[in-house]
Chain A
């Protein structure tokens, strides 16, 4: 350990407003630190030049994932684990989910934040190519207000960005319009896990009858900062996929990037492999989309009652289940999720309550309402409870009781992939919320559960 803890001031004001005031009052003095996965490495190596740091960790106003009908807004304080675990993100933005799983290790993912990844501005940043491909916008915040700009304009040079001295990166906005787009992400690292990328390419294209109508390419590790490949996109857009287009694309990308020799790789390698990845993406655009799954086909043909029951197992609101039936026949998995979301959005509080009531309390095994299939799935989703310590179970029971007393409905959380301690921790956090916010949160959790179950149902 070469850094001196005593040589740095680190304060944790605990709220977004307090941090923004601090940055406004003393611009340029304070360096924000979120999960620390970058700054603490420098600290240990004795290279941390920032003397005054302000902690962003634990600020709820920065750590959120909000679902709107046309966009998902990810708070800059969201960790990569938050991103990976989020069902809607893995449905709408699979590349982001994938990238989140490639960052460091599980331990790094639970601390590294999306904001930290972008503001640190490494040319190799794992989330950047994906956000470029998804045409993301960043939202910056200060005491003066907020402003939005395309993420593609955020970086201006090596480790330089447009943040003013009093500004923080607040959120990333992702437009939900890629359900019909072809998506590609590949990271080339030194090994399968815990690898800084040598080259990474993300692509998002809309292809209609073999012609590329729209394409965005985001790339890492081949320039001073992660960038779009505008010239290359131009060489592809409007063209039909074929050997000529691919050759033109390869030629364009070679001129579009400025790779260097460094400790991890060579300029020549990066140049050639970027071309190979691009070719791999473009070659795949010609393949047909995935087909309808068997259970979906059967469901389309089934009688009303069986069809409704299949839906109720995924979400216990009768109105929702009925609205899904009304949309039969549903063409494919992607449409199914899409319609499920749109129908869920039309539900009201009473429908939500009906859905909530079908879940056993976290930590309990039974519930008085809902089908046996629903119960089985609840038990699977909550399977980590079997490993819970006695104290944790007790605390969950107490917490559940307090929650119901305060808000009037069961504590709902998407349990899949969460440890008992985590679910308890989230419960405690949410207890301090207000009913309106909690209702929305529970509805959102219910939606995530619904998607997980729809996927499971399709896999059966």
Chain B
């Protein structure tokens, strides 16, 4: 077995990263330890709780299930990439205002799942919201106000898009 750690190159929140790391190291641990992006959390290590959710090449993944070598050349988005400088993402703002976050530990993963959902389906029904978030466990809220937050963010997005000059509909 080689003792040289291979180079992994990928983009995280728009910035290029090059690290030398064991290929079987979990993407979750690479984000938290090698890149100091501790927003992504470990809740179970089994792909059940979703608190480690990130977006990889435009898809939602549980980063605890991804050996980092499979992220070679990928585009990763984590919760740290959502807010633009001091401006909160509409989802984050909605979560804060509508009680979508209580203890906050599931929130980063929940935000990534909600971002993914709205990226694929800008106007999801409540059933589609439930399905889109079914892989993210929240023990505090009972999910109800998380649904409300997503619906609110959806409305904000619509206004945003309309203000940007969309015509058809």
Contacts and interface: CB of A to CB of B under 8 A. Distances in A.
B50 to A, nearest CB: 6
Contact of A106 (B2, B66, B134): B134
Contact of B113 (A8, A107, A192, A387): A107
A442 B113 CA distance: 30
A12 B70 contact: yes
Nearest to A419: B119
A193 B58 contact: no
B118 A387 contact: yes
B131 A365 contact: no
Nearest to A379: B168
B120 A57 contact: no
A110 B132 CA distance: 12
Nearest to B71: A57
Interface residues of A, number: 51
Given A37-B47, A379-B168, A108 B62 contact: yes
A421 B57 contact: yes
Contact of A111 (B2, B42, B65, B157): B65
A358 to B, nearest CB: 16
B142 interface: no
B60 to A, nearest CB: 5
A421 B58 contact: yes
B26 A10 contact: no
B15 interface: no
B67 interface: yes
A1 B120 contact: no
Given A44-B26, A418-B120, A106 B168 contact: no
Contacts of B122: 383-384, 386-387
A283 B25 CA distance: 51
Interface string B154-169: 0001000100101110
Interface in A7-30: 8-12
A375 B168 CA distance: 10
Given A44-B26, A387-B119, A387-B157, A420 B65 contact: no
A81 B48 contact: no
A295 interface: no
Given A5-B24, A41-B65, A105 B29 contact: no
Given A43-B24, A192-B134, A110 B59 contact: yes
Interface string B31-48: 000000000001001111
Among B69, B70, B118, max chain A CB count under 10 A is at B70
A55 B59 CA distance: 19
B62 to A, nearest CB: 5
B53 interface: yes
A248 interface: no
A387 B123 CA distance: 11
Interface of A: 1, 3, 5-6, 8-12, 33, 35-37, 40-41, 43-45, 53, 55, 57-58, 81, 104-108, 110-111, 192-194, 365, 375-376, 379, 383-384, 386-387, 391, 417-425
Interface of B: 1-2, 14, 22-26, 29, 42, 45-48, 50, 53, 55, 57-62, 64-67, 69-70, 72, 75, 113, 116-123, 131-132, 134-136, 157, 161, 164, 166-168
